[in-house]
Amino acid sequence: MNQPRFTLRQLRYFVTIAECGTLSEAASRLHVAQPTLSQALTDLERALRVQLCVRRRAHGITLTPSGHQVLRQARHLLRQAEDLESAASGQGSLTGVLSVGCYVTLAPTVLPPLLQGFSAPHPELTVEFSEDTQDVLQQRLLHGELDLAILYDMDVNPELARTVLHTVRPHVLLPADHPMADRSSVSLRDLEPEPMVLLDAPPSSHNTLAIYENLGLVPRVRYRPSTIETTRALVGRGMGYALLVQRPNHDRTHEGRRVVVKEIAEQVPSARVLLAWPRATRLNRRAEEFVRFCRENSAA
C-alpha cells in the first residue's frame, strides 16, 4: 500500500481555510502563524498534484472545482480519523463533533429535546447545529458540511437517505378575536377571501400553495415573512391568517398577543419530518448513534 503524501494536519488546515475564506482568519482560528498555514496549503497541493484554491491578497481564497471535491473528501477523512481515535482509546465513549442541521421552523420545537436527550449520555461529544431552509441544508449535507439534517419530506434530493421521525398535520393560525376563533375547525374555503400571511421559507410556501391548488382555491397572499415568529406576530395583530405545519407550545406572540390554532376542515396531507444524510457517505459512529437515538425517541 502506498504511503499518503499528505497529513491529517494539512487536511484540517485546508478545511479551516476553506470555511474561513481567508488565510488570516483561518490562522487566527487555528492559533498558528499565517506563513505556516500558507506553506501547509502549498504542500498539500503539491502532494495531491492539483490546485485547490486561487489566492488573492485582497479577496481571500476561492476554491477551484478540484478544491471543492477535495474539501468534501477531507471532511469525511477527518471524521473517520476522529472515530478511529475514539475506538482506539477503548473507552467506547463518543467524542469529537457531530454537525446537525435543522429546517428553520422545526428547530424551536424539535431540536432542543433531541440535543438535550442525546448529549446527556455523551458529555464528551460536541453537537453543533445550524438552522436554515431545506435547499441550503441539503446542499450542505451533500458538500460534507453537515453529518445529518432534520427536514420535512418535501422536495428532498434523491441523493439523500432518510428515516421518518414523525408526522404532523397542517393547521390554521388565527388571531384570538377572529370570528372563526371559537370553531373546532375552520374551512380553507371560508378563509379564501381573507388576507393570508404566507411563511416564505422553502419549501414551506410551495407546500402551502400546493394544498390550496389541490382544493381548487387561490389564497389572497398579502405578506410573505421568512420566519415563523414574524408570521405569528402578523397574525396576532389581525393582519391575516396563516397555514402552518409546526405547532409551537404557546399561544402568545412576542408582543403578548394571543393566537389560536385551528384544525382544517378539508382533507389535507400530513407532513413527515425526516432525519437525512448523504447516501454515498458512510455514517460515522456519532451520526449512527444520533440516528438510533432519534428513531427510539420519535413517534413515526
* Domains of the chain: residue spans and CATH: 8-72 (1.10.10.10), 94-167+273-297 (3.40.190.10), 170-269 (3.40.190.10)
State how far the Cα of 151 lies from the Cα of 272, in Å rounded to an integer.
9
Check residue 12 and give its pLDDT.
86
Residue 269, SS3?
coil
Non-local CB neighbours of 84 within 8 Å, separated by 6+ positions? none
> Contact 138/156 with Cβ under 8 angstroms?
yes
Say how many C-beta atoms besides its own lie within 10 A of residue 146's C-beta: 26
Closest listed residue to residue 105, CA positions, set 188, 173, 185, 163: 173
**Which runs of consecutive H residues, i.e. helices, occur in the chain?**
8-20, 23-30, 34-48, 65-88, 107-119, 134-142, 188-191, 204-214, 228-236, 285-297
- For residue 103, what are the β-bridge partners? 132
CA angle 110, 77, 75 (to 5 degrees): 50
Closest listed residue to residue 184, CA positions, set 175, 172, 193: 172
Non-local CB neighbours of 179 within 8 Å, separated by 6+ positions? none
Say how many C-beta atoms besides its own lie within 10 A of residue 255's C-beta: 9
State how far Cα 84 lies from the chain centre. 27
State how far the Cα of 8 lies from the Cα of 238, in Å rounded to an integer.
57
The x, y and z cell numbers of residue 34, run together, are 499565517
Check residue 77 and give its pLDDT.
82
Q: How does pLDDT run along the chain (300 residues), one tens digit per residue?
A: 566 788 888 888 888 888 888 888 888 888 888 888 888 889 888 888 889 888 887 678 888 888 888 888 888 788 777 766 666 554 567 877 889 999 988 888 889 999 999 999 998 888 989 999 999 999 999 888 899 999 999 889 999 999 999 999 999 999 999 999 999 999 999 999 999 999 998 888 888 999 999 999 999 999 999 988 999 999 999 999 999 998 777 788 878 899 999 999 999 999 999 999 999 888 888 899 999 999 888 755
